[in-house]
A = this chain, B = another copy of it.
Amino acid sequence: MEIQEAVKKLKENNKLLSAYYHAMGVLYYDFDTVAPKNAVGGFSETMATLSEITYKLSVNEENFKLLDLLTEHEAELDEITRREVEQAQRGLKLLRNTPMEEYIEYQRVQSEANSVWHEAKAKSDYSLFEPVLKKLVDFNRRFASYAEPGQDPYDYWLNEYEEGFTQEVLDKYFEKVRSALVPLIRSIGEKQQPESGFLHKFYPAWKQRALSDHLMQVMEINRDDCAIGETEHPFTTGFNKHDMRITTHYYENALESSMYSVIHEGGHAIYEMGNCDELTGSPLFGGASCGMHESQSRFYENIIGRSKAFIELVFPKIKEMFPEELEGVDADMFYKAVNRAEPSLIRTEADELTYSLHVLIRYEIEKKLMHGELDTKDVPAEWNRLYKEYLGVDVPCDREGCLQDSHWSGGSFGYFPSYSLGSAYGAQILHAMRKELDVDALVKNGEIGKVTEWLREHIHKYGMIKKPAELIRICCGEDFDPDYYIKYLTDKFSELYGL
């Protein structure tokens, strides 16, 4: 086959897959937001049928040959096509090297694990989950050895989720995080906490919906390109740069919850809406990695959204909407309340300061599991020991401990670090941005669009064309350096708590 012809075939396949993923994405969004409850049967069946079709479109000898030919001639390809081929090969590496029966068995175990985990969590009974977790750990260790024989299995999985990252990098990263944050959090623990009870008065959902609209406007999100829905767990999904969906959940006794969900998910949406037009319909549409995606959502949520400047910008409107609930509260009090930092049990509810320690605990446990150094039976004890050591909290039950997250039940080992890396990327990006922009002044003036413009030019436009480490170099002019993150957190929280 001629290279030109092969490229044409690749693009046709991409276009076809992109239509299927679009349909499946809308089915999923619809199911989670508006479908009636009993739609589940038909939904699952249609998703299974479409998944099988897309699977067969990628996993077949003809496609393998096509990709191998293109890889061989990669020097002749343009950058986008070259990266498309590289990503397709990355995605197929595991499947091409794993015996089919094992992979099918793994999928069966995964789906079993999901329902077992739900039950175990509801009953707070780890012993129900342990046998299936053990199977999943074994599968993941074995699959890593098929995909990259001889490589450390945890390094294989880390690289799958955050391309270019290994334990060597992450060990150093987390050691810095741990040694800086543990004493900082301890010092804050001795200080008086700011008042935050006013965030938990009654805030009716219909008024919070209006606040969401306002926040999206402040973020300069074009609503003709981005809709908002409501789900139990907020998420973002995008089909192309003109069709993004974010969701939130309104708790009527917690104003902060949906407010920061909207800003967080809005950040994810802004990232993809900023992809260059060439990526429409390409598998490279989206974010460079989980960590890079998280860096953008957390940038808007924490670095912008929990900054003094942002609170000064939006507080007058919030107070206007909730004059009684916020009587006697000023912008400074609101700023302090939404930045309240305190060791806690649940990762997804953790504050900006303590968040990475939750991730570190999971990192340490995953590493030992992948190395066969920790028996799955001993996960709860290890979990509880680490929570006590790093965060100083006692875990009362496994439901609020090692059963809280769904990731392991889905067979994901190595995903968690990207959550923390996202925050660290963000602080380094902020440092670079500040060389060119007066970020605080722009935010205070309601010119968040200018911040977004900078991010678009340095990060968003690339979609998945660049690897995360490359993007950091492009954006910041240097390699990833966690010191910016440590400094950002130390400065912000020292000032907040008067250390």
Contact = CB atoms under 8 A, between A and B. Distances in A.
Interface in A264-311: 280-281
Nearest to A40: B242
Question: Which are the 5 A-B pairs with shortest beta-carbon distances?
Answer: A39-B243, A38-B242, A19-B49, A37-B224, A23-B23
A35 B243 contact: yes
Contacts of A34: 33-34, 227, 229, 245
A38 B224 contact: yes
A344 B387 CA distance: 74
B36 A242 contact: yes
Contact of A242 (B41, B222, B244, B281): B41
Given A19-B50, A29-B30, A30-B29, A244 B45 contact: no
A130 B362 CA distance: 69
A277 to B, nearest CB: 11
A42 interface: yes
What is the size category of the interface that chain A forms with chain B?
A: 35 or more
Given A41-B240, A243-B38, A15 B49 contact: yes
Given A16-B49, A36-B226, 11 more contacts: A22-B42, A23-B26, A26-B27, A34-B245, A36-B225, A36-B227, A36-B242, A36-B245, A38-B243, A42-B280, A43-B243
A150 to B, nearest CB: 42
Interface string A223-263: 11111010000000001101111000000000000000000
Contact of A42 (B16, B37, B240): B240
A239 B44 CA distance: 12
A373 B15 CA distance: 48
A303 to B, nearest CB: 26
B36 A26 contact: no
Interface string A12-29: 000110010011101101
A227 B50 CA distance: 24
22 contacts: A15-B49, A19-B49, A22-B42, A23-B23, A23-B24, A23-B26, A26-B26, A29-B30, A34-B34, A35-B243, A36-B224, A36-B225, A36-B227, A36-B242, A36-B244, A36-B245, A38-B222, A38-B224, A38-B225, A42-B239, A46-B239, A206-B206
Given A36-B223, A36-B243, A38-B242, A26 B30 contact: yes
Copies of the polypeptide in the assembly = 2
A368 to B, nearest CB: 43
A444 B27 CA distance: 40
A68 B35 CA distance: 39
A33 to B, nearest CB: 7
A136 to B, nearest CB: 29
Contacts of A27: 22-23, 26
A37 B206 CA distance: 23
Contacts of A227: 34-36
A242 B42 contact: yes
A290 B117 CA distance: 47
A185 B237 CA distance: 55
Interface in A184-243: 206, 222-227, 229, 239-240, 242-243
A335 to B, nearest CB: 32
Contacts of A42: 22, 239-240, 242-243, 280
A53 to B, nearest CB: 8
A344 to B, nearest CB: 34
Contacts of A15: 49
Contacts of A50: 19, 23
Interface string A161-183: 00000000000000000000000
